[in-house]
A and B are shown apart, each in its own frame.
Chain A
Amino acid sequence: MSEANASATRITPGNALRPEDIALEVRTGLVKPSEDVAEYALRLGDDALILAQRLGHWISRAPELEEDIALGNIALDQLGHARSFLTYAGAGMLNEDGTAKSEDDLAYFRREHEFRSVQLFEQPNGDFAETIARQFVVSYYQYELYRRLTESTDATLAAIAAKAVKEVDYHRDHSTQWVLRLAGGTEESRTRMIHGLRTMWPYVNELFQDDELTQRLAEAGAAVAPSSLKEDFDRLVAGVLTEAELEVPDVPAAPGGGRQGRHSEHLGYILAEMQVLAREHPGASW
């Protein structure tokens, strides 16, 4: 699409919105998030970015070639969501030279305490069952979140969510199928599935914590209050676990704090691997 044809906004829920479309509208001044909305978009973008990086590690390491591609697809979907959210977030944040921050500025040139992702997303892949457990929780959380965010009064957030929710619906199905199969497979697979769920469950609580930012935005109708997702999440997740003859793990919640930049020891290693090339060769492209 040339810039000349771009006078009409592409940011509508019916459109398959690309990060480039958002970047273009940011440059031409058609969209600019408020400070609050930019911070909110940063949170959702960081979640998706860190998960994409985690899932990408499975490529060439999954149990089967077919599963390798499935996890790679999910990783790429998440990366797409991250790019859109971060592009939009960056439009509300300035570099030292006064230009808006790009998705790359945000992904590659922030430090650990500046990331706003919740701690579940940075948890190690572990074995296949742990990855499935993490994906299972994430997918049901993201689905409920994006489904509601399509109604946001902020048109860009609504459009990103409208594209993402269809993809996350498939992630939900993928992880559900695997929870059922691992739980109903062999004694070994069942043991690992139970272990995976117990490993990830301490980080579930953090997903549903409201704070001042989400309260302000939710009142304005721009964002979704995290606490409002919990009822549907609990019901749907419990439904799958019951079908799998598993129990919702009864484990104490981790302290959380990812939205304020407090992370588990794992995030630093993820960032080191993700950022090293961009920092070594700033502005490089191919």
Chain B
Amino acid sequence: MSPHGNPETPASGAVEINREAPKASPALEQSAQPEHHDRGAWGLWEVFVRSSRGLSHVHAGSLHAPDAAMALRNARDLYTRRNEGVSIWVVPADAIAASDPDSKGSFFESPQGKDYRHATYYTKSEGVKHL
């Protein structure tokens, strides 16, 4: 959270410090996420918005904020400008554990061919009402 200088003049060199810092090795430099170079303390937050239709919270996008309170306010400004929501959740992006896109096959394709997991697989017995 570094206050920048006068908007009419370029910010001082303060925000450039990270960029100029010597890198330990090329390998480390590659593994570092580029967007974190300049952003200092402002972490990434994922935003979930519940629309006024009474549905569950749905992922709306992400944003940067210095802390949870500011993340909520930024989310309000970014994702509910056009009356989209009645409730917002913000979650630190690194608190989310995500499935690996590369293991999509073993994760998501095994239910294929297991039609008995769907209720429609079974034939309805004669005379059963209210099903």
Contacts and interface: CB of A to CB of B under 8 A. Distances in A.
A206 B4 CA distance: 29
Contacts of A125: 6-7
A189 B3 contact: yes
Interface string B98-115: 000000000000000000
B69 to A, nearest CB: 6
Interface size class of B (residues with CB under 8 A): 20 to 34
A57 B6 CA distance: 11
B81 interface: yes
B4 A65 contact: no
A67 B66 CA distance: 11
Contacts, number: 59
B7 A129 contact: no
Contact of A174 (B2, B7, B42, B73): B73
A173 B72 CA distance: 12
A177 B81 contact: no
Contact of B4 (A63, A69, A170, A177): A63
B77 to A, nearest CB: 5
A69 B78 contact: yes
Interface of A: 57-58, 61-67, 69-70, 73, 125-129, 170, 173-174, 177, 181-182, 185-186, 188-189, 192
Interface of B: 1-7, 14, 39, 42, 63-66, 69-70, 73-74, 76-78, 81
